Amino acid sequence: MFHDNSEKTHSSESTEDRNQSPPRQKNSTHAPLEKTSIDARHVILILSEKGGVGKSTIAVNLAYALAARGCQTGLLDLDIHGPNIPKMLGLEEHQLESDGKSLIPVRMTKTLQVISMGFLLQKRSDPVVWRGPMKAQAIRQFLSDTKWGSLDYLIVYLPPGTGDEALTIAQIAPNVRGAVIVTTPQDVATLDSTKAISFVEQMDLPVLGVIENMSGFTCPHCHTEINLFGSGGGERIAQEHHVPFLGKIPVDILMREAGDEGCPFIGKKRDSSTWEAINAIMERLIAEIDNQ
Ligand SMILES: Nc1ncnc2c1ncn2[C@@H]1O[C@H](COP(=O)(O)OP(=O)(O)OP(=O)(O)O)[C@@H](O)[C@H]1O
Ligand SMILES: [Mg+2]
């Protein structure tokens, strides 16, 4: 598994690196893609058009919150180009493991398992260029040749933009309930989010909701509220596009620290408005799916 390097271009390491490529696709025709056999009741995509808006942070915290609620949860990180999720979960040194037949996800807690494209890289700092079919093949293996067991939720983190990974997963994963769009409040981000909403609709998937991240900041010294990136932009685009608004998450230094420390914020600190905001977003997301 993941041993054929023939279609890989890697910027700084030789093409003999073992762990960085999935097998070459046997069939390169454009036949409709078959659904994979993963046992997941609800597959949820997390995406944004713009980078740096907090998708990884939110994917990690939502998955952790669902797992803490008792739901069997998988987190699938499909970002090969900027895999931050292993770092945010303290799994940076982890390599992909297999029992000879199937890939084995990392079990973070009794109810949370993780697979990351980053586990394929030998050095996280090295940029990697993969062709679309290789990504598709890796994604298929992450879904069907992986021992996830029976999942209530599979949270799929997609890299910024509207590329191959999203199209592939939308076609081959069963039970895709829709996508969550993450944005920050300012116009340059919400404009991009409009594109992300259109993309999801073009894939014939529902938009499960918009999350407005980095919405307001309370100075820890003088407690003055400052709208660093404005406020209300995410809520406005949700209204304009008639899609649900899942909620706002403030800029919180502890969120950034938790990401850098490799411990999800939601698992650490309960007595804060940021914790309440993330927890409420998770509950609204569950309600949106249950109401479908
Ligand atoms: N609400 C928040 N408060 C404070 N820091 C935050 C918040 N949300 C995200 N961050 C921080 O902002 C940075 C970018 O977040 P993150 O990596 O989650 O964004 P992203 O959308 O996944 O980025 P990329 O598109 O590059 O993958 C990280 O350092 C993260 O810890
Ligand atoms: Mg990210």
Please state the domain extents for the chain.
39-290
Q: What is the pTM of this model?
A: 0.88
The neighbour count for residue 276, using CB atoms within 10 Å, is 12
Q: Are 169 and 205 in contact (CB under 8 A)?
A: no
Give the pLDDT score at 56: 96
- Please check whether residue 288 is in contact with residue 71, taking contact to mean a CB–CB distance below 8 angstroms: no
pLDDT of residue 124: 63
Query: What mean pLDDT, rounded, does the chain reach?
Result: 86
The conformation of residue 267, written as its DSSP 8-state character, comes to G
Tell me the two tokens of residue 5. Answer: 């390097």
Over residues 157-180, mean pLDDT: 92
- Probe ligand 1: pick from 45, 256, 274, max atoms within 8 Å of CB? 256
Give ion ligand 2 contacts, CB < 5 A.
Answer: 55-56, 84
Decide: helix, strand or coil at residue 216.
strand
Alpha-carbon dihedral of residues 279, 285, 288, 292, nearest 10 degrees? -140
Ligand 1 contact, 160 CB (< 6 A): yes
Matching residue, tokens 């309930």: 177
Closest ligand 1 atom to 48 CA: 21
Query: Once rounded to an integer, what is the mean pLDDT over residues 92-101?
Result: 89
- Atom 28 of ligand 1 has which residue's CA nearest to it? 256
82 lines ligand 1 (CB under 6 A): yes
Q: What distances in angstroms separate CA 207 from CA 28, 122, 202, 245, one per listed residue? A: 31, 35, 11, 10
Mean pLDDT value of segment 38-47: 96
Which pLDDT score, from 0 to 100, does residue 33 have?
73
Residue burial 212-222, b: 16+ Cβ < 10 Å; e: rest: bbbbbbeeeee
Mean predicted confidence (pLDDT) in 163-190? 91
Assigned CATH for 39-290? 3.40.50.300
Any atom of ligand 1 within 6 Å of the Cβ of 249: yes
Cα 130 to Cα 8, 48, 80, 143, distances in angstroms: 6, 21, 8, 19
Closest to 144 (Cα-Cα) out of 178, 111, 174 = 174
Measured CA to CA, the distance from residue 174 to residue 40 in angstroms comes to 8
Please report how the helices 132-144 and 164-172 are oriented relative to each other, as an axis angle in degrees rounded to 10: 40
